[in-house]
Amino acid sequence: MIVFTLQPYAEWKKAFEVPVYQIIIDVFVNLIFSIFFLELIFFIDKVLNRIIPWTTHPLIRLLIQSIIQIVGVLIIIIVLGIIYLYTLGNPKMKLSESKITQSWYLVIATVLLVLMMGALNTVHYLVTNWKRAAMQAAEYKIKAAESRQLAAETELQALKLQVDPHFVFNNLSVLSELILKDPLLGHAYTENFAKVYKYLLVNSKNKLITLREELKFLHAYLFLIKNRIGEGAVFNINIANAKLSLQIPPATLQLFVENALKYNSTEKGNPLTVEIYSTEDDELVVSNVLLPLLQPTPSTGIGLQNILGRYALLSDRKPVVEVTKETFTVTVPLIK
């Protein structure tokens, strides 16, 4: 087809007017040529892929590959032509001008054919490597996502339910006093203390809990607080019923309340006021007035960072912290 395109008016039909055995020999010779050309293309590509990969210098690679293929084809044509001439042909036979012209067209057609075969092989190589790279990239993304998920799970477990150990000792101390002074109150204190730690143990592996369950836990926790500090703190809770089915990380409210009590004064004459309420935007607000201690407790930021860290792993919406001269307010999103 290529030779016919290059020389459409040549007498190519005469090529089929030879004996059958000659056609068979020609087909066999052409097959040998094709095998040599394919091996040449594969060998050149294999060598150049190591020396000049397509990903580094594509233009230089294309130029060098084309030159080497053309030179290699010409060498093979000359060598095989000589072998054919001295084995199956007649070396003393003189070729006519038309035969020489046809031979040149055949050489040009062969070079073009090899370049086309090389181009197809290159396209196959590039497509195969592109698919392999795409699959590897997809695998890396999956592994990276799995690694991030594992890291997030690990971090989340580390952040969950960090309770101040002083809270445990303080409550045990209060409990021992109440049992001696008021056994009934001590019994109620024990029940609420058990509820608090049962909640922490049961939900230690949960990422989220309904606001309804969180409030039950908070009421038990506040019972302990009120019996520990008396009238030194006032808690106003106003949560819409429609928001109770929404979710937050376990012990979120407890950490905020604990934070407020830790860094503010709780005196009977000037009690600490803590407001807890929901908004129409599916948010929960915890706000307390600022009553600085005479000897301020250094802030570690663990409680607040715990909540911020958990929300960063669980939701796209982030808690908002607002500090003024009079109040400290944290707004956290309720998760559906």
By CB atoms closer than 10 A (0-12, 13-18, 19+), residue 35 is exposed
Distance between the two ends of the chain, CA-based, in angstroms?
69
* Percentage of the chain exceeding pLDDT 90: 19
β-partners of residue 277 are 238, 285
Say what the pLDDT of residue 18 is: 57
Residues 37, 76 contacting (CB under 8 angstroms): yes
By CB atoms closer than 10 A (0-12, 13-18, 19+), residue 55 is exposed
Domain boundaries, the chain: 2-154, 160-333
Average pLDDT along the chain, 336 residues, taken 10 residues at a time:
44 55 68 73 79 79 79 75 65 56 64 71 72 78 69 53 62 77 84 84 82 92 87 92 92 88 88 94 93 72 72 85 92 92
pLDDT tens digits, residue range 5-50?
444 444 545 555 556 666 677 667 667 767 777 777 778 778 887 8
What does the block give as tokens for 37? 């050309």
Say what the pLDDT of residue 5 is: 45
Say what the pLDDT of residue 7 is: 45
pLDDT tens digits, residue range 232-272?
899 999 999 999 999 998 888 988 998 888 888 988 889 99
Q: How far apart are CA 283 and CA 7, in angstroms?
A: 82
- Please state the CATH superfamily assignment of the domain spanning residues 160-333 in this structure: Histidine kinase-like ATPase, C-terminal domain (3.30.565.10)
Contacts of 222 (CB under 8 A, 6+ apart): 235, 257
Q: Alpha-carbon dihedral of residues 302, 304, 308, 309, nearest 10 degrees?
A: 10
C-alpha gyration radius of the chain: 43
Say what the pLDDT of residue 284 is: 94
> 274: how many CB neighbours lie within 10 A of its CB?
23
Residue in the block written with tokens 């409680």: 303
Residues 72, 44 contacting (CB under 8 angstroms): yes
What does the block give as tokens for 159? 């952040």
pTM for this model (two decimals)? 0.54
Say what the pLDDT of residue 101 is: 61
Strand order in 272-278's β-sheet? 233-238, 272-278, 283-289, 327-333, 320-323
Q: Alpha-carbon dihedral of residues 40, 41, 44, 48, nearest 10 degrees?
A: -170
Say what the pLDDT of residue 185 is: 84
